[in-house]
Amino acid sequence: MSPGSRRTRRITLTEVRGYMGKAEQFLEATQTEHDAGRYGPATSLAVHAAINAADVVSGLRSAQRSTSANHDQTLGLLREAGRDGRAVATQLQRLLPLKNRAEYDPQPVARTQATAALRAAQQAVGIACQALADRDTT
């Protein structure tokens, strides 16, 4: 898909900060659910934390975010958003295959999968947080 055919929306720095807040809230809830042994919800929340982190980085680097339900478009946008974008894309790419399993599959999510999801979300949110902090100090 060419960059011109992507579904995106321009976003402001205020919106970027809002996505950062959501990413941090989802990450905190991920940890809470994981600690309580609720691995399906923990994994689902980890995915959403990383999606919000993706919006932060793409918003900072290109003033836009993907509006497509197809997360491959988000990954493409991130890969064009510099080193931070590629790093978040790597974590999001690890998480996306777990989304349907965590949210719709009747089979439970294993603790090991939830732990890996938590770590990937921590990485993605950490990268987004640092990118925003770097922006604020320049």
Residue range 28-62, pLDDT digits in tens? 999 999 999 999 999 999 999 999 999 999 999 98
> Structure tokens of 120?
């990937």
The least confident of 46-50, 104-108, 134-138 is 134-138
Higher pLDDT, residue 1 or 30:
30
Backbone torsion region of residue 63, taken as left when φ is above 0, otherwise alpha when ψ lies between -120 and 50, otherwise beta: left
What pTM was computed for the model?
0.90
Helix or strand (DSSP H, E) at 65: strand 64-66
* Whole-angstrom distance, CA of residue 135 vs CA of residue 130: 8
DSSP 105: -
* Whole-angstrom distance, CA of residue 106 vs CA of residue 101: 8
